[in-house]
Amino acid sequence: MKTIYKNKQSEIAIMELYDRQLKALNVKYEDLFVDTRFGITHVVKTGNQNGKPLLIIHGSNNTMPYELSYFSALLPCFCIYAADTIGHPGKSSQTILSRKSMEYGEWASDVITELGFQKMNCLGSSLGGGILVKLMCTAPEKVKKSVLVVPAGIANASMLGAIFSTAIPMNKYIKTREDKWLKDVLLPMALDEKNIDENDIEMLKYSTEHVKTSPFSIFPSIAKTRDLRKFTAPTFIIVAEKDRMFPSNKILTKAKKTIPNLKTHILKGQGQKFNLFNDAIIMIKEFLEN
């Protein structure tokens, strides 16, 4: 059986990391497992049980609890269903989906159905945003409102250029196993060392050491205008001004041409590894609640 982990010990290490990260969130939660056409998907139900349901999809080669920490300010407001992206570190099936097809969108559609909803508010960042874009293409009727944070799937920079910017420090880490090089791997995305903390270093270290990471996995195929022609739900796109992977100007230019009911916000001076300050969190809350 194919596995996304380098060996059994690697899988155990990732599961231990996952549980530590989830515990660190210090929230009550319920484990759910739903069946999709691509395999079992693990979903953590948490947050305000009386709030509006919100599906959160995480990015490439990260764990769901790690990514959920970015959006922890939403927990008191919404009943959050945080899905472990299939084929990535977590407790879902290890089925690797094609980044070039609409399989990720079909997977997300199945998750919504199996959770018992006809449609949901959805939020995705980075690859999670790209997965949400594919859901908007394949099952637009299942998205009540869409929040895309520094999303893939709309416009990419050069894949080779983005990978090359991290290749030298990654190779130095592989040779030396010195954590200082992991900070240099993250720096092109974070732009400033103050935007990198111990959790970021730990997540990257575990992904590098234990997961069969594809450098191209963060770049799903770009949605074409015709793919989104049936999508009319309200959409809020948050981009980072200096994002080197998913350029803000290209994303906004294309989105304004293809998504009719659109709200946008630019994270000034920030890169792909973003900080959601209070004003952005308030805008997400207001967008989803109103």
What pairs with residue 266 in β-bridges? 239
Q: Over 60: is that where the pLDDT of 1 sits?
A: no
Q: Say if CB 74 and CB 284 are below 8 A apart.
A: yes
Mean pLDDT of 168-186: 88
Token pair belonging to 189: 């995305």
Q: How much is the average pLDDT of 156-182?
A: 78
The mean pLDDT value for 88-96 works out to 95
Superfamily for the 8-157+221-289 domain: Alpha/Beta hydrolase fold, catalytic domain (3.40.50.1820)
Mean pLDDT of 7-35: 97
Q: What is the pTM of this model?
A: 0.94
* Closest by Cα among 109, 43, 104, 26 to 79: 43
Residue 61 scores a pLDDT above 90 = no
Cα–chain-centroid distance for residue 286? 21
For the stretch 207-241, pLDDT in tens is 999 999 776 667 788 999 899 999 999 999 999 99
What residue segments make up the domains of the chain, in order of their start?
8-157+221-289, 159-210
43 forms beta bridges with 32, 83
Rounded average pLDDT over 109-131: 97
Instruction: Confirm if 8 and 2 have CB atoms less than 8 A apart.
Output: no
Q: Name the amino acid, one letter, at 211.
A: V
pLDDT score of 69: 93
- The answer, yes or no, to whether residue 76 has pLDDT greater than 90, is yes
| Integer Rg of the chain from CA | 18
Among 79, 54, 87, 66, smallest CA distance to 23 is for 66
- Average pLDDT, stretch 69-91? 96
Mean pLDDT of 165-173: 81
In the block, which residue shows the tokens 């996952």? 18
List, for residues 35-53, the tens digit of each pLDDT value: 999 999 999 999 999 999 9
pLDDT confidence bin for 139, thresholds 50/70/90: very high
Residue from 181, 184, 39, 207 nearest 127 by CA: 207
Indicate if the pLDDT at residue 149 is higher than 60: yes
What mean pLDDT, rounded, does the chain reach?
92
